[in-house]
Amino acid sequence: MIRRREFITLLGGAAAACMLPAQAQQLQLRRIGALVTANPEPFWSEFRAGLRAHGYTEGQNIAFEFRSAGGKLALLRDLAGELVRLKVDVLVAFSTPAVTAARQATTEIPIVMYAGDPVGTGLISSLARPGGNITGMSATTAENGAKTLELIREVLPSARRVAVLANAPDPFSIPFAQQIEDGGRTLGIAIETIKIRSADDLDAAFARMEKEQSDAVIVQPSLPRDRVLDLALTHRLPAVGANRLLPQEGGLMSYSANQNDAIRRVASYVDRILNGAKPADLPVEQPTRYELVVNLKTARALGLTVPPTLLARADEVIE
């Protein structure tokens, strides 16, 4: 017969044994791979902040493997392969080229994306049922093409010809240019799409815009901004885009999804996947918040007057 004290001791030992696997699971360090095309900000800071809000602490229950191609799209495939070999638990890819490289590298590791028009570029089957191992956020950059043209018309009512500077190696360049061309037909603006394959093509591209008397240029987000903006100012051409970094670094204005909000939503997808959700079962979300950023200093340098009504609507005005 087991005495009461012995029974309690055995019961306590059994309970402790049952707790050990749960404690081990709780303390398990999950590894997140992050792949970006170029400048990691604001992705890096906002993404980590988003995970902290879900209870993750770097070095305690989560670790990061971060890779940036530094603007060189050709490096993305090798970087994605490196993250896959490290056997990360989730691979986060920021921008269409990065997601494309991640998809080529693995069909098993869950991929959480932030990319433009993932259906149009063939990354997923549909927003509601992405299928496969990819889910996340659609940036809706292409769908904003007509809105971007409307903003150009507000600043330049006489605008009749707009150039689109597209990044040919980026799969997103096709829907990006197509949406703007469709918007141009609706608004009566002639659209000249110029696709470049490397930074070496930029000088010729801007010379062509000057020859064709383009009134403005819409810049695809994955292009190297520094060189593009230098040439835009040299040719006195208003540069507009779908990334707030463009006006912050000297472009005229941008209209895009609120990136900070979208990146934090990406972090919530990672949390759900780490807690057992399957990417194929998580519908891809579209942004609900958009922002307009205007660089008034650049407008003055170009001799442009930005209407007070547009400035009143802007989320940020750079003086």
pLDDT in tens, the chain (319 residues): 444 444 334 444 444 444 444 444 445 899 999 999 887 767 888 999 999 999 999 999 999 999 999 888 999 999 999 999 999 999 999 999 999 999 999 999 999 999 988 998 899 999 999 989 999 999 866 668 889 999 999 999 999 999 999 999 999 999 999 999 999 999 999 999 999 999 899 999 999 999 999 999 999 988 989 999 999 999 999 999 988 999 999 999 999 988 889 899 999 999 999 999 999 999 999 988 899 999 999 999 999 999 999 999 999 999 9
User: What single-letter DSSP state applies at residue 27?
Assistant: T
What are the structural domains of the chain? 9-139+258-289 (3.40.50.2300), 142-257+291-318 (3.40.50.2300)
| CA distances in angstroms from 24 to 15, 20, 27, 30, 237, listed in the order given | 15, 6, 5, 12, 59
pLDDT of residue 6: 44
What residue type is assigned to position 257 of the chain?
A
The per-residue pLDDT for 288 is 86
pTM for the complete prediction?
Answer: 0.83
pLDDT at 23 (0 to 100): 44
The Cα–Cα gap between 286 and 272 comes to 17
pLDDT value, residue 264: 93
As beta bridge partners, residue 188 has none
Residue 222 tokens, joined: 């994955």
Neighbour count for residue 301 (Cβ, 10 Å): 13
| Cβ atoms of 69 and 89 closer than 8 Å | no
Q: What pLDDT score does 19 carry?
A: 42
**3-state class of 92 per DSSP?**
strand
User: Going by DSSP bridges, is the β-strand pair 253-257/290-295 parallel, antiparallel, or unpaired?
Assistant: antiparallel
Compute how many other C-beta atoms are within 10 angstroms of the C-beta atom of residue 5.
8
In DSSP terms, 194 is beta-bridged to 165
Distance between CA 180 and CA 133 in Å, rounded? 30
Residue 256 near residue 244, CB atoms below 8 Å: yes
What's the pLDDT score for residue 27? 57
